[in-house]
Amino acid sequence: MSVPDAENSSRKLRSDGERSRKRILETAADLATTIGLGGLSIGELARATGMSKGGIAAHFASKQLLQLATIDMALSIFQREVLDPAFRTSPGVPRLLSICEHDLSYIRRRVFPGGCFFSAVAAEFCNRAGSVKNRIAEASKVWLGLLETTIREAVELGQLRNDTDPEQLAFELNGLIVSANFEYMLHEEPTPLDRAEHAINRAVDARRTIQHGA
């Protein structure tokens, strides 16, 4: 029976293609945090993956499509390493703190060798108009929106004071993480991550309806 055989081998080809595409994009996401998303090239990816240049080029019609696909891969890694585990925690303050802790841990564990993927590419592309910048700005808005929603839930659950400004607090928590990331990379020692964790706990505690320390 030739039809099922053809189907099988076409499925195998497809899944081989998906596997190699995934491998290229994971490598690209790593490289984006060290040499930059703008520094990605077919040659660089061939060297880093050990695949042929032709094999890599076949997957991406343009450099821009490679960059956009790399951002999507990084989003799925961030989902797996930070958001999925944090969302297993109950809503409100526990989840808010868990998101921040998992984010700091993802930086500390060097899930990407150059620290937070999104801080790196935001800094690199914030002044380069175009669809890559737009995708990064969109991801930044989703991330801040997620912190804001979690803070809003904490207020609704009566855990944080009614006068808490979710956008302001989200901005502050994110700021501590972003700068801890860059200082950790720049000075190659983890004190900034500890300082960020301390400040995040303090900022959240200061807004609790029942004060825990301060």
Positions touching its own copies (CB under 8 A) are 33-34, 36, 38, 113-115, 119-120, 122-124, 126-128, 133, 136-137, 140-141, 167-168, 171-172, 174-176, 178-180, 182-183, 185-187, 192, 195-196, 198-199, 206
Q: Quick one: 92 or 166, whose CB is closer to its own copies? A: 166
∠ Cα 119 170 87 (to 5°): 85
**Least distance (Å) between residue 94 CB and its own copies:** 23
**Least distance (Å) between residue 77 CB and its own copies:** 18
Q: Quick one: 33 or 70, whose CB is closer to its own copies? A: 33
**Least distance (Å) between residue 120 CB and its own copies:** 7
Q: Quick one: 58 or 137, whose CB is closer to its own copies? A: 137
Q: Quick one: 26 or 194, whose CB is closer to its own copies? A: 194
List Cβ<8 Å contacts ≥24 apart for 16-23.
Answer: 17/59, 20/51, 20/55, 20/59, 21/59, 22/73, 23/49, 23/51
Print burial letters for 85-101: b (CB count within 10 Å at least 16), e (below 16). Answer: ebbebeebbebbbbbbb
Q: Quick one: 156 or 167, whose CB is closer to its own copies? A: 167
**Least distance (Å) between residue 134 CB and its own copies:** 10
**Least distance (Å) between residue 11 CB and its own copies:** 40
**CB 104 within 8 Å of CB 196:** yes
